[in-house]
Amino acid sequence: MQYNTLEELEAYFKQEIRKVSEKELEEVRREIEKIKNKVVTELEETAKLNAKIIVDQELKEIDSDHAISLSRLADDNNRRLMAKRQELTEGLFADVRNKLLAYAATDDYKTMMGEKTRKLAQRFRADAVLIVGKRDESLLPELLRSFSEGTQGTVDPQIELGGFRLEVKKDRIIVDETFDSTLNEEREKFYANSNLIIG
């Protein structure tokens, strides 16, 4: 194609330059779009990763707070249960104590004391001490009749609920038939074997 004038030639160059420029611009736009998409994808991935890290960290903190709360709740619950167990146990043994005190005021109690001391008097003849509580001091002369003359009687204020203790010093024998000792032993057995386990 032939160009007759300088203007036609100039117009041709301009058009060619525009075509080449537009083509290069289109390639640059595509490259920019690719780079932009790549950067956006990377940013999205980074944001997702950061969000996952943050969410995981938040979940760990929530789990930790939850575990601490559960532990505190369990501790508080155990304390309340232990206090209730203690209250019920004390109530039970207070009832038993009151029943023993009531029994110690009956004629059946006096009969029981007489029978037990007579049986022991047959086994231990001399050099013994029969010990009763302050409440049973009036029974002491009667109880000592079963024993031989060498047996002495005394009062121990520590025996509150009833019963007696016989000490044979020569043979180093102590026969403890006090309700106080029996109740204490039963309390220890109860705590050891009650199956009132908190857990």
Could you read off the pLDDT of 168-192 as tens digits, one per residue? 888 788 899 999 999 898 888 887 7
Same domain, yes or no: 6 and 92: yes
Our CA angle for 169, 170, 176, nearest 5°, is 35
pLDDT in tens, 9-46: 777 777 888 887 888 888 888 888 888 888 888 888 88
pTM, entire model: 0.60
Q: What is the pLDDT of residue 156?
A: 94
Same domain, yes or no: 36 and 62: yes
Range of the domain at 172: 107-193
Same domain, yes or no: 99 and 146: no
Same domain, yes or no: 50 and 131: no
Residues 6+ apart with CB under 8 A from 74: none
Residue 59 maps to a domain: yes
Reference 178, options 118, 134, 125; nearest CA is 134
Same domain, yes or no: 3 and 97: yes
Cα dihedral sign, 82-85-87-93: negative
Q: What is the pLDDT of residue 197?
A: 54
Give the confidence band of 3 by pLDDT, cuts at 50, 70, 90: low
Q: What is the CATH number of the domain that holds 156?
A: 3.30.2320.30
Residue 32 maps to a domain: yes
> Once rounded to an integer, what is the mean pLDDT over residues 117-131?
84
How far is 42 from 163, CA to CA, in rounded Å? 90
Structural domain ending residue among the three candidates 56, 78, 103: 103
Same domain, yes or no: 88 and 131: no
Other residues' Cβ atoms within 10 Å of the Cβ of residue 167 = 18
pLDDT in tens, 84-99: 878 887 888 888 888 8
104 has pLDDT over 80:
yes
5 has pLDDT over 70:
yes
Round the average pLDDT of the chain to a whole number and report it. 85
Structural domain ending residue among the three candidates 54, 79, 103: 103
More confident residue, 196 or 97: 97
Same domain, yes or no: 73 and 92: yes
Give the confidence band of 113 by pLDDT, cuts at 50, 70, 90: very high
Give me the number of domains the chain comprises: 2
Residue 90 maps to a domain: yes
196 has pLDDT over 60:
no
Same domain, yes or no: 24 and 95: yes
Same domain, yes or no: 138 and 55: no
